[in-house]
Amino acid sequence: MESAEVARRFLNFFEEHGHLVVPSASLIAEDPTLLLVNAGMVPFKPYMLGQRTPPSPRMTSAQKCVRTPDIDEVGKTARHATFFQMLGNFSIGNYFKEQAIPYAWELLTRSEADGGFGFPEEKLWVTVFHDDDEARDIWHKQVGVPLDRIQRRGMADNFWSMGVPGPCGPCSEIYYDRGPEYGREGGPIADEDRYLEVWNLVFMQFERGAGQGKDDFPILGELPAKNIDTGMGLERMAAILQGVDNIYETDTLWKILDRAANLTGAKYGRDQRADVSLRVIADHVRSGTMMVSDGIRPGNEGRGYVLRRILRRSIRNLRLLGGEEAGLMHELTAVAIRTMGEQYPDLVRTAANIHTVIDAEEESFLQTLRTGTAIFDAAVEETRRSGRPSLAGDQAFKLHDTYGFPIDLTLEMASEQGLQVDEDGFRRLMKEQRDRAKKDAQDKKTGNLDVSALDDLLGRSGGQVEFTGYTDVVGEARLVGLLVGGANVPAAGEGAEVEVVLDRTPFYAEGGGQLADHGVIRLGNGAVVDVHDVQSPLAGLIVHRGRVRSGEAQAGDTAFAEIDIDRRRAISRSHTATHMVHAGFRRALGESAAQAGSENSPGRFRFDFTASGAVPVSVLRDVEDEVNDVLINDLDVRAFHTSLDEARAMGAMALFGEKYGDEVRVVEVGDYSRELCGGTHVARSGQLGLIKVLGESSIGAGIRRVEALVGIDAFRFLAKENVLVAQLAEQLKTRKEELPERVSGMVTRLREAEKDLERLRSQQVLAIAGQLAADAGDVNGVAFVGHRAPDGTGADDLRKLAVDVRGRLAGRPAVVMVAGVPKDRPVVVVAVSEGAKERGLKAGALVGVAAKTLGGGGGGKDDLAQGGGANPDAVPDALAAVKRAVGAA
């Protein structure tokens, strides 16, 4: 039974029993405490907490999930994976244990011909929470499971929560007995390799607080209603139904694994190390594909860091198997898209965008491996010189953070050199960095507020703050919540920094690339709050951040909200301009030019999009001309709501990776642009006045950024540019239209003159090579040359001089050291002849001696090495130190 069929049967069964089938939510979690959706119930959490009204009291889903805490175990075991799909059925205050348990048993044991999974009853075991007699009785008395196949377990095993504050409760797990060949008798408490968990039924009754581990947290109280949350791992179920021993041999992962084996020449099942690499590749390619499809981009923080790590581990394991050429990830990504496309059609629709992102990351990391290896070699040399047995944790962290080296790559390469790595130091620095990144990302949205305080505000606002800003710029409201320093307060006086929640507001919260509105909130008692930021930390909640200008703000007071209309209009112009530029680039470059981010600020906007390389200037000019022609036509700008399917049918662009509900808002500029968007816009295209594209640049692998001006800012820029051109034309005594040719000629002549100077300088430096060789001293039988070149001599010339002098000393053991100060920082080059190498003298080690004296580092090969430092005054000392090192050899 294929994985897609497993999902279909599960969803069909619960749909037949009155459950609403809910599509999988994005992997990007709405919950600010989570980087990624890590459990099937995450999208249902607001319903379980009573923060939102569910679309149905009974729901079912096949949810995409990513977990990475055990990423190092991926491939080593039969169960660990980063991406997985969780099948679940949910009841929000509708039914509880007495129905959830029989539902699970019926679906598992119903014959395949009747739409079930066909499990033999005698193969199934059950566990319950240690004091949950109710669940035990339902299993035994109602379902008929013998008592000897029902086992009790403690809180660590049979009490479920997400690991963060939220819903929790006792659970009952169902296990499948794979037979004695997989382990010993005794049920799940004896052997969880033989008895494989297939389904977890969670009886959500309580809300937990903050705490560590699986059992060290407080129970805050009962939930508003008893809920059911179940989870069946699709991959694990597929493994059982397909008769394979692990999830990597199931249909979806096996196709990727098998293709990776073909591309690298590896044979699965022959070598344990190769098997682990193939499993890592299969899992990580699928995970990366799914994450990119949801709009996550590789980066050094948060979700981007998780994605980058996953993709780079794939590439690294391909190299371990001998696959070093570029393009392998493209092949494997294509397999993942085909394999998962039946369940997630958006993968096929956005395939070009997915390939652009992953291909660029592959190219970037392959370059990283080439450059980072040289840095690693230098770190190893420094470690050996210092006599340490381990590569320092900060060096490993720098390799990772600056050069993108995975720690497992550093560990392996260090082991090959006979060295260890200070992993504790590395992981401490990594944790500090991740904690900072996670806190920064969360603070942007939550303003350092406790999530429970946000939940309370959402509850006070009725679960949804009404946004009136599409039609109104002012409006009456009620101040339902007031926070100072993250805590709910009844009042705040003049000068206090506050977070204000109104029951309705015209203020636009930052989102979709559009900056937040500014303005004022005037309260009924005369107090005034200046608003400088607006955020939506939780879905449905709008928080106004500001400062009490005068009076005392009080919760419960009436309010009059008024936005800065000039700022709103300028931002709306930028947002509409972004849509038009997006449409222009897709016309010019094709559908692969998908928006990957934007910022719409007053009079200025930036637009990020996927592209394999730089955009030609001619394309920038053509897009600019095209959108300005559209402005002149003064097209109507219209916004309306419709279904997602209807919006796509009419050609509306859904931004790559964005999350959309069943009903969406479409913004169209005549017939030129049609896009799904929740932002604010102008009424007619002519209101933009003018769009001026300033240029484009790379902001990351596969991502380009265009910056542009709109409206009066564009006019002012062109006016200033016109004055500048006129001044240049006057100074150069030429006409404006002849300026490019005139300046180009001047630049060409200047470059030719610089080359002539460089050749002359190089000739002067090399001219003394013969004299240096003739004056070589004897140090313990080794011809030694130590020379300081004139300041300003470049590193290339220093190398040429050292090699030239060494060549003139052919046939003799010789060490040549040349030092100089090209740009305020000393550089040293050491060249060692074959005869000197035979005496144990190595250029890399001698450069290390010099670099240490100069306050820096360096490295290279045994015959030629280069280093540098920060102290030019120490050059004489460095020359002397190398000479002593030669004498001591």
Q: What is the pLDDT of residue 447?
A: 45
Yes or no: say if 291 and 66 are a contact pair by the CB < 8 Å rule: yes
pLDDT tens profile 185-214: 999 999 988 999 999 999 988 888 888 777
**For residue 478, which amino acid is it?**
R
Both tokens of residue 740?
């490019």
Closest CA relative to residue 101, chosen from 208, 220, 236, 200: 200
Closest CA relative to residue 167, chosen from 86, 228, 99: 228
Band of residue 593 on the pLDDT scale cut at 50, 70, 90: confident
Rounded to an integer, what distance in angstroms lies between the CA atom of residue 141 and that of residue 135?
Answer: 10
Rounded to an integer, what distance in angstroms lies between the CA atom of residue 49 and that of residue 455?
Answer: 9
Q: What is the pLDDT of residue 658?
A: 56
- 517, 520, 522, 523: CA torsion to nearest 10: 60
Res. 75: pLDDT tops 90: no
Res. 793: pLDDT tops 60: yes
Question: Higher model confidence: residue 414 or residue 137?
Answer: 137
Yes or no: say if 649 and 638 are a contact pair by the CB < 8 Å rule: no
DSSP string, 375-418: HHHHHHHHHHHHT-SEE-HHHHHHHHHHH---HHHHHHHHHHTT
Task: Give the chain's mean pLDDT.
Answer: 88
Query: Is 532 annotated as ligand-binding?
Result: no
- For the sheet with 864-868, list strands across it: 777-779, 782-788, 814-820, 827-832, 864-868, 857-860
What mean pLDDT is predicted for residues 641-666? Answer: 77
Res. 830: pLDDT tops 80: yes
CA distances in angstroms from 454 to 439, 441, 463, 822, listed in the order given: 16, 16, 11, 57
| CA angle 833–834–839, rounded 5-degree value | 100
Question: Higher model confidence: residue 431 or residue 826?
Answer: 826
Rounded to an integer, what distance in angstroms lies between the CA atom of residue 696 and that of residue 699?
Answer: 10
Yes or no: say if 535 and 544 are a contact pair by the CB < 8 Å rule: no
* Residue given tokens 């098997």 in the structure block: 275
| CA angle 100–103–105, rounded 5-degree value | 110
Q: What is the pLDDT of residue 444?
A: 46
* 156 exposure class (CB count in 10 Å sphere: 0-12, 13-18, 19+): exposed
Query: Is 355 annotated as ligand-binding?
Result: no
Rounded to an integer, what distance in angstroms lies between the CA atom of residue 426 and that of residue 816?
Answer: 38
pLDDT tens profile 106-133: 999 999 999 999 999 999 999 999 999 9
Res. 239: pLDDT tops 70: yes
- For the chain, give the percent of residues with pLDDT over 90: 52
Give SS3 for 119. Answer: coil
pLDDT tens profile 458-517: 767 667 899 999 999 999 999 998 998 878 889 999 999 999 999 999 999 998 889 999
CA 819, 821, 822, 825 torsion: positive or negative?
Answer: positive
Res. 441: pLDDT tops 60: no
Res. 147: pLDDT tops 70: yes
Rounded to an integer, what distance in angstroms lies between the CA atom of residue 338 and that of residue 423?
Answer: 39
Res. 388: pLDDT tops 60: yes
Band of residue 765 on the pLDDT scale cut at 50, 70, 90: confident
Band of residue 448 on the pLDDT scale cut at 50, 70, 90: very low
Question: Higher model confidence: residue 711 or residue 376?
Answer: 711
What per-residue string of b and e applies to 13-26 under the rule 16 or more CB within 10 Å gives b?
bbeeeebeebebbb
Q: What is the pLDDT of residue 666?
A: 93
Count CA atoms within 13 Å of residue 128 on its CB side: 19
Stated pTM of the model? 0.63
Both tokens of residue 101?
């348990």
Q: What is the pLDDT of residue 453?
A: 66
- Compute φ and ψ for 561, nearest 5 degrees: -95, 135
Res. 445: pLDDT tops 50: no
Give SS3 for 55. Answer: coil
Query: Is 681 annotated as ligand-binding?
Result: yes
Query: Is 641 annotated as ligand-binding?
Result: no
- Compute φ and ψ for 848, nearest 5 degrees: -60, -40
Band of residue 46 on the pLDDT scale cut at 50, 70, 90: confident
The number of beta carbons lying within 10 Å of the beta carbon of residue 216 is 9
Q: What is the CA 491 to chain-centroid distance, rounded?
A: 40
What mean pLDDT is predicted for residues 294-303? Answer: 83
Closest CA relative to residue 643, chosen from 663, 665, 659: 663
